[in-house]
Amino acid sequence: MSMVTSRIVAMGGGGFDAGSVGPHMEDLILSLVPRERPRICFVPTASADDRAIVANFYDTFSLRAEATWLPLFERRHTDLRTLILDQDIVYVWGGNTANMLAIWRIHGLDVILREAWARGIVLAGMSAGAICWFEAGVTDSFGPGLTSFHEGLGLLPGSCCPHYDGEPLRRPTYRRLVGEGFPAGYAVDDAAALVFAGRDLEEVVATTPEARAYRLERGADGVVEVALPTRYLGA
């Protein structure tokens, strides 16, 4: 009996609507599924089901995959479990992390995504779509400033801070929080991603040569920040 490998791709930022990032990250995500045309479901809850972003998703994936999307603000699907478990990949967009998770929990999507992960369906996402898989994260969900967030799904241990190089307050805020006892975790630049197999970090990938991810922990002499080996996906 073969073991199921549960994979999560947590991206710091960018994505298919960011022209400077390129297609390499999406190529990587599709390559994790041994099927010529993977079934991929887009979940843009954090952006309030923004239709322009949905259109970008279809422009990016519809020629290479069986693409669909899950609206929750104007819900169309009665049986969310069947929809999600019929996918090879679930791709979660960015936006308001706290609102997204609250809506997921009201609709029972949080439980369904746990089952999807256990079954080996690839879970991917950027920004809010990266934070959500961890126990905790750094978010701007509650106003213009950054604050700690402890209500993630907890599929992955510890914390996550996206946009580490893209927003000037991300690094000092995350370092301060970890120094104050916030769960240790990972910081991810906008064009980088963490690839997990189960709960273990398999690799860090990036679509620009300079993008990185970092491991942050609280040490005896302060916060220890270590740059992680990164595989560049470009030419």
Judged against a pLDDT cut of 90, whether residue 21 lies above it is answered with no
3-state helix, strand, coil in the chain (%, to 5): 25, 30, 45
pLDDT on residue 235: 64
Name the domain count of the chain: 1
211 within domain boundaries: yes
| Buried b or exposed e, range 37-75, using 16+ CB within 10 angstroms | ebbbbbbbbbbbbeeebbebbeebbeeebebbbbbbeee
Mean pLDDT, rounded, of the chain: 94
What pTM did the predictor assign?
A: 0.96
**Distance set, CA 171 to CA 33, 98, 137, 176, 225 (Å):** 34, 20, 13, 8, 10
User: Mind telling me the catalytic residues?
Assistant: 127, 163
1 within domain boundaries: no
The CATH number that applies at residue 14 is 3.40.50.880
End-to-end, the C-alpha distance of the chain in Å comes to 38
pLDDT on residue 22: 60
d(CA 132, CA 167): 19
pLDDT tens digits, residue range 180-191?
A: 999 999 999 999
2 within domain boundaries: no
**Distance set, CA 112 to CA 80, 107, 119 (Å):** 8, 10, 11
pLDDT tens digits, residue range 117-153?
A: 999 999 999 999 999 999 999 999 999 999 999 999 9
Q: Once rounded to an integer, what is the mean pLDDT over residues 83-90?
A: 98
Residue 11 neighbours by CB under 8 Å, 6+ apart: 25, 124, 125, 126, 127, 129, 130, 162, 188, 192, 193
> What is the domain extent for residue 214?
7-232
Which has the closest alpha carbon to 194: 43, 54, 9? 9
Which tokens sit at 173? 């805020």
pLDDT tens digits, residue range 39-81?
A: 999 999 999 999 999 999 999 999 999 999 999 999 999 999 9
pLDDT on residue 20: 45
pLDDT tens digits, residue range 196-217?
A: 999 999 999 999 999 999 999 9
